[in-house]
Structure 1
Amino acid sequence: MTLIAEDVFLLLVDDNSGKPIVDSTKFPRVLAGGLVLELAMNGSVRITVKGEQVKDGRLVVSGPPPPDPLLARAHALIGSQGNPMKPQKAIEKLQKNLHKEIGFRLAQQGFVTERHDKILGLFPTTSWPAQDATRKNWARQWIGSSIIDGTTPTPEISALISLVSAIDAVPKVLPGVDKKMAKARAKQIAEGEWASAAVRKAVQDVNAAVMAAVMLPIIVSTSSS
């Protein structure tokens, strides 16, 4: 069974070129957001609320680690902090080289081919062209059904839509759709009643953290130039 982060990877990588269809700032951070969101959805972590001993909006462990090694590592990172982290900080820590790890896993599963090249014969680069698009087509079909046809998405599809929406990539996943309509419907789904109150808070906070994490390198780059 693929992870949410793996499905996000498949949706955001071009089948032919094997390159992400979003920029290099957004790509690894939305994958990290997928790990955190999946941990929240399965009850392994939660985000604190006002009135607790820990400040609100912090990630804390609330259940055992999942068996998957990527999720287990994210769970361990969240649990190892003396001062519980905000989701944005967890995403920043988890995103380093994450796209390469997920690409390798998906290549091992036969969904993509991992291809190594060099730009100008000097600079190494990796791409992941599609090998078996069945899983990606399944996810895209259900996302399209939810956004275009108005069907009720499953929690898993809702989570995918919320993450893709957080980096404003819904029109890239569903090329040709009315962008304004698609963005509005995706936001409606992300904020919908498809999960418990605790998970809805996690969706809200993780998506906000992804957006903030994406903007931070841009702000830093702008201020230093």
Structure 2
Amino acid sequence: MAELTLAHELALLAYDDKGTLQLNRPALDHGLAGALLLELALAGRVEVVDDRLVVADPTPLGQRQLDDALARIGADDKRRRPKDWVGRLARDLPEQVLDGLVTAGVLRRESDRVLWVFPRTRYPSETGAEPAAETRARQRMTAAVAADGPVEPRTAALIGLARAVRLDRHLFQDLPSDRVKHRLAEIAAGDWASAATRKALQETEAAVLMVITSAATAATMTAATS
């Protein structure tokens, strides 16, 4: 397939080698929506102005999910916050991203039932081992967290996404926890992109975390009152 987007990489990281999702579903949905916004910001297509996300360049990128998101943002007659777009873009997004990985032969789809009753869909790799694209993403993220100094923008953005959806505890478990905590904060505050791009990325990552936290709180309250 064409070069993987941040959404593709996040989806690969979110599933274990058996094809089982390691996150709750709202976290995956909103994380992937955030990935689209981060990709658009890195490409100079969107930026944050007065706390609202706006299109800076409407030129398509040639990737369906990204171009659809860019068109929706540009066509909206109201300027919205990154948080609003994370919620709006999340619907059906995991299926679209995973379909792309299946079509490309990176993953395969397996449907069965748990205890012969509950339907389940898993997404293991075609070989049964970790996909090469996922290995590369893990390696560059781990190298960035283990090292000092500047971080390549796409890697920094992917690390920020992983942190927002709470995948960091799985990805960096072999590194000292104090080191990981300090380095993630350093990368989040780092001067590794233009001021406009960095602002868009920081606000998008914060928006993903906010939406996920709100969804988790709502689910907990619903369970407690049922």
Q: Structure 2 CA distance, aligned partners of 1:196 and 1:151?
A: 16
**Structure 2 match to 1:53:** none
**Structure 2 match to 1:159:** 157
Report the 3-state secondary structure (helix = DSSP H, G, I; strand = E; otherwise coil) of the residue aligned with 2:121: strand
Q: Any conservation in 2 of the 1:165–1:183 contact (CA below 8 Å)?
A: no
Tell me: CA distance 1:179–1:20, structure 2 relative to 1, closer, same or farther (3 Å).
farther
- Within-5 A mapping of 1:1-225: 1-16=3-18, 18-48=19-49, 56-63=50-57, 64-131=59-126, 133-150=131-148, 152-224=150-222, 225=225
Normalization by structure 1: what TM-score? 0.89
Q: Any conservation in 2 of the 1:145–1:151 contact (CA below 8 Å)?
A: no
Compute the displacement of 1:222 (Å). 4.4
Report the 3-state secondary structure (helix = DSSP H, G, I; strand = E; otherwise coil) of the residue aligned with 1:202: helix
Matched to 1:6, the amino acid is H
Compute the displacement of 1:119 (Å). 3.1
Q: Any conservation in 2 of the 1:165–1:187 contact (CA below 8 Å)?
A: no
Tell me: CA distance 1:180–1:20, structure 2 relative to 1, closer, same or farther (3 Å).
farther
Tell me: CA distance 1:119–1:80, structure 2 relative to 1, closer, same or farther (3 Å).
farther
Report the 3-state secondary structure (helix = DSSP H, G, I; strand = E; otherwise coil) of the residue aligned with 2:113: strand
Normalization by structure 2: what TM-score? 0.89
Identical pairs, percent: 30
Q: Structure 2 CA distance, aligned partners of 1:131 and 1:183?
A: 34
Unaligned stretches of 5+ in structure 1? 49-55
Q: Any conservation in 1 of the 2:47–2:55 contact (CA below 8 Å)?
A: yes
Q: Structure 1 CA distance, aligned partners of 2:178 and 2:26?
A: 24
Q: Structure 2 CA distance, aligned partners of 1:165 and 1:218?
A: 16
Matched to 2:103, the amino acid is Q
CA-to-aligned-CA distance 1:103-126 (integer Å, 9 cap, x gap): 111111121111122234344322
Tell me: CA distance 1:46–1:175, structure 2 relative to 1, closer, same or farther (3 Å).
same
Matched to 1:34, the amino acid is A
Matched to 2:34, the amino acid is G
Matched to 2:60, the amino acid is P
**Number of paired residues?**
217
Displaced runs of 4 or more, over 4 A: none
Unaligned stretches of 5+ in structure 2? none
More deviation in 160-169 or 215-224?
215-224
